[in-house]
Structure 1
Amino acid sequence: MSSRKTKSNAHAECLSQVQRILRERFCHHSPHSNLFGVQVQYKHLIELL
């Protein structure tokens, strides 16, 4: 396997981990959801996901 494919696979794996973490934090309403401005950010992130 070439180093370019290895890097590409590593980036894809990293991106899917980031998406999973964001979904866990923002789709399952973390206890920090009462902070100022979080609701607007939450709505925007849900639209992106």
Structure 2
Amino acid sequence: MILENYLPQFVDKYRKTSIPACRSDLAKILGLYQYGGLYVDSHCGIAGSNELYHL
């Protein structure tokens, strides 16, 4: 487990966390830290290419 390698003091707290979003966020951060990359969190999108002209 990546968490055990980088933050072993938090493994027990991670396992006790019952909020899926918290666990998911930590997994994303640790994955990016170990493997690199880019994460973009977007809550909106363009309805269609015609909508681009109205921006």
TM-score range, shorter chain: 0.3 to 0.5
Does 1 or 2 have the higher relative contact order (CA < 8 Å, sep 6+)?
1
Structure with the higher fraction of residues in helix conformation? 1
Give the TM-score normalised by the residue count of structure 2. 0.32
Give the TM-score normalised by the residue count of structure 1. 0.35
Q: Which one has the largest radius of gyration?
A: 2
